[in-house]
Amino acid sequence: MAVHHITTLLLCVIWGLPEATPICDNSNPCPFTGGQDLSVPTEYSSEGTGLLNVTLTVDLTPHTVDWLTIHRRTYNGEIPGPTLRVRPGDKLYIKLVNNMRSDNVVRAEGHGPVSPNITNLHLHGMHVSPKEPHDNVFIEIGPGSSYQYEFDIPDDHPAGTFYYHHHIHGNSHFCVGGGLVGFIIVEDDVTTMSPELSAISCPLNCHKEVQLAVGTNFRYTFLETDPILSYSNLQKDLGDPSRNLDPLSSGTGTMEDWLMDPANGVDYLLTNGQLWPKVTLTVGEVKRFRIMNGATIEVLEIAIKELGCEMMVLAWDGIYVDAPYRTRMVVLSGGARVDVAVRCWFSGDFTMTSIMAEENDPVLASEYWQMRFNQNLLTLHVEERAAVFGLEHFPTSLPAHPGYYRDLRTIDDSEIDGRFVIEFGPEHEVNREHFKDAAHYRYKYKVGTIQEWYIINTEQLKPHPLHIHVNHFQVISYNEYTHPWGALHPVNNTKSAYYDLQGNLCDQQFLHFAHNLDWPTSNTPSFKYHGHHNRSRDSTPAYIPLGEWRDTINVPPLGSMTIRFVADRYTGTQMIHCHNLNHVDRGMGLVVEVVEEGESIHGASTASGGAYPGTCRRTDPYPDVVTGAANFNGGGHDHGHDHMHGH
């Protein structure tokens, strides 16, 4: 009855206006206004019972932004999907149901787009087994099928912000960008938290937590012009119903055309599926923001535009930092999360925005990338409150790390059991080849050992965020890299080419540049590419402070770094890939194999793998390594002493 009265009242108000206000809808667009209260994802919690058992259903569902209704692939009809709250030691059972129809299933040859109707699940950043029925990302769940995942969360799992997302090779950009992400929050143990941290955290003060899932899920299909990568083209080919092809009443094209037209000022990213939502705080109040970059290719540089609010970093990628520190900006590549405590000193509206890096700072990315993702995310609406309350306190201490995330910076060299090189190169290659399949591991090492990996990005323009499944890694150093700036590829006129770690252009350009390369290399040996030398990055937010733990790290153009981790507890096939999802879809990933103590690793602990990444050597072909094959050494080639150690 009450609802009826309100509706009547509203109708009277609308009809009572002297001139009819235009109704905005899918055929009659008007500027978006945003400003709605931030939507809170549905939550499912184990509540200390030791078990969370949920069903997530993937389907194409209507999603409303202001007046616009779009169709997106969702978990249980929501963007983001439901938040799953668990505790260390819990079992997490997820039945993933694929409710998509089968009428447009295709799988392209090679590394092109595949059907957006196949799905699966990855627990990003969670320290769980990569084997079935756990976090095996090579499981494929077709339309009309389902799969019962079981995850055993270890007793000593870190408490923090993690997420789940779709992870099918070939369509992850399309589907994750569309909305197939959701939070997993491993809740803190009240007894290990300081009172200040507990005051802004579940389980006792959940009302102080704010979950922000920033996603590409608005215009994600429209900006790609690459004929292979264009998901707009893919959608056309598939007749995919998530397109917005309603003709406009003005007769000037479709809703899709309107969204794509820059003149209409439609921002690209949504936060919790909303455009420019609002979060309310009071003056002096501290809230804990759990921020996820659930977008597919965008590096976010999140700051509060106006003076008057403070941000204090608590954790990165679900791992607490040693001590909270103030920041004016947090830089999140796709896949990264950060926990920040936020406090504002004045009432009014403040803008959380994603801005570019320091002026002309080439550390993070090229201008092209910076400009593209420069937009407001949400409004912090700060209300007055009685002065008697005063300022709430930021936490000053944080829970300790589990033993397998102990500090590896000062260990003796002899403790390092294996080294590996990951090279991001042009043409979406890792270690100079495309991802093959789950059976072709490119490095093999023993569980429980300490690994030191050297990461290099030989591309001059594109950053590539490295993501390693199962284990977080510690940032040990940033390394010198004298860059080969200036050379244009003579054939395709781009700056994509292979260089060695000394900056020499390689004669042999491998798979995609098999030409005689005699153009000038234009090396300037005295020039060091800005920022790629070994120092703490405390003052440069684009860099991760040395010693921090991440599961995803942005490797800037021509950047290189050293990481370490303990290959704790889990054996099996683990995926290493670029978390720009359109890159991994095209092959920018590889698998490694973690084996039991006692199993042979065939000398792989010192192999660099690949076609000697970081070198110009091409005399030895990449060994065709298949799990279980006896000839890991590639038919007798010596891979023993060619790794490039970047200290």
Distance CA 63, CA 69 (A): 5
Rank residues 341 and 575 by Cβ distance to Cu ion and give the closer one: 575
Cis before residue 362, ω within 30 degrees of 0?
Answer: no
Rank residues 465 and 623 by Cβ distance to Cu ion and give the closer one: 465
To the nearest whole angstrom, how small is the minimum distance from the Cβ of residue 583 to Cu ion? 3
Size of the site for Cu ion (CB under 5 A): 4
To the nearest whole angstrom, how small is the minimum distance from the Cβ of residue 77 to Cu ion? 31
CA 263 to chain centre: 29
Helix (H/G/I), strand (E/B), else coil: 296: coil
Category of 314 on φ-ψ map: left (φ > 0), alpha (ψ -120 to 50) or beta: alpha
To the nearest whole angstrom, how small is the minimum distance from the Cβ of residue 280 to Cu ion? 37
Rank residues 451 and 582 by Cβ distance to Cu ion and give the closer one: 582
Q: Count the Cβ atoms, other than its own, within 10 Å of residue 334.
A: 28
Alpha helices in 168-209 (DSSP H): 172-178, 195-198
Rank residues 147 and 373 by Cβ distance to Cu ion and give the closer one: 373
Rank residues 229 and 378 by Cβ distance to Cu ion and give the closer one: 229
Closest Cα partner for 580 from 558, 556, 564, 561? 556
Annotate each residue in 415-454 with x if it binds Cu ion (CB under 5 A) or - if it does not, as one string.
----------------------------------------
Contact (Cβ atoms closer than 8 angstroms) between residue 244 and residue 70: yes
To the nearest whole angstrom, how small is the minimum distance from the Cβ of residue 289 to Cu ion? 27
Annotate each residue in 453-492 with x if it binds Cu ion (CB under 5 A) or - if it does not, as one string.
-----------x----------------------------
To the nearest whole angstrom, how small is the minimum distance from the Cβ of residue 173 to Cu ion? 11
Rank residues 567 and 578 by Cβ distance to Cu ion and give the closer one: 578
Radius of gyration of the chain (CA): 25
Nearby residues of 17 by Cβ (< 8 Å), 6 or more positions away: none
Rank residues 221 and 580 by Cβ distance to Cu ion and give the closer one: 580
Contact (Cβ atoms closer than 8 angstroms) between residue 80 and residue 273: yes
Rank residues 275 and 576 by Cβ distance to Cu ion and give the closer one: 576
To the nearest whole angstrom, how small is the minimum distance from the Cβ of residue 464 to Cu ion? 3
Which letter does DSSP use for residue 305 in this model?
A: S
Closest Cα partner for 245 from 233, 257, 263, 228? 257
Annotate each residue in 289-328 with x if it binds Cu ion (CB under 5 A) or - if it does not, as one string.
----------------------------------------
Closest Cα partner for 167 from 206, 140, 187, 128? 140
To the nearest whole angstrom, how small is the minimum distance from the Cβ of residue 600 to Cu ion? 33
Which residues pair with residue 160 across a beta bridge? 186
Annotate each residue in 562-601 with x if it binds Cu ion (CB under 5 A) or - if it does not, as one string.
----------------x-x--x------------------
Distance CA 47, CA 334 (A): 30
To the nearest whole angstrom, how small is the minimum distance from the Cβ of residue 118 to Cu ion? 22
CA 180 to chain centre: 13
User: Residue numbers of the site for Cu ion (CB under 5 A)?
Assistant: 464, 578, 580, 583
